[in-house]
């Protein structure tokens, strides 16, 4: 049994973090709306804070994958 991975674009990650930082936003609800796990938002936040401009080097633009998440749902 092979495991499928979804790669997300840098823009998707940054937009998800932007939405998560809005007042009165539930990260759990945002994650459900985006179809991702809640912990991914927290991991992306830590990566961005630690690496700044070098964050998200392994994204959908940089790796070959069959499945990519390139859009943000209207929130």
- Domain of residue 19, residue span: 7-64
Domain count, the chain: 1
In a domain? residue 71: no
The domain that holds 19 is classified in CATH as 1.10.10
In a domain? residue 72: no
pLDDT at 26: 95
pTM reported for the whole predicted model: 0.72
pLDDT at 62: 56
* Mean of the per-residue pLDDT values of the chain: 81
In a domain? residue 25: yes
In a domain? residue 52: yes
Query: In the structure encoding, which two tokens stand for residue 6, read together?
Result: 């979804």
In a domain? residue 18: yes
In a domain? residue 75: no
Antiparallel, parallel or unpaired: β 7-8 and 68-69: parallel
Residue 5 has pLDDT above 90, yes or no: no
> Which H/E stretch holds residue 31?
helix 27-34
Q: Which tens digits make up the pLDDT trace of 21-57? A: 999 999 999 999 999 999 999 999 999 999 888 888 7
């Amino acid at each position: 049994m092979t495991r499928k991975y979804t790669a997300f674009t840098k823009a998707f990650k940054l937009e998800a973090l932007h939405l998560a930082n809005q007042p009165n936003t539930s990260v759990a609800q945002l994650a459900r709306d985006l179809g991702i796990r809640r912990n991914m938002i927290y991991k992306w936040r830590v990566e961005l804070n630690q690496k700044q401009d070098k964050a998200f080097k392994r994204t959908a633009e940089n790796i070959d994958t069959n499945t990519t998440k390139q859009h943000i749902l209207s929130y």
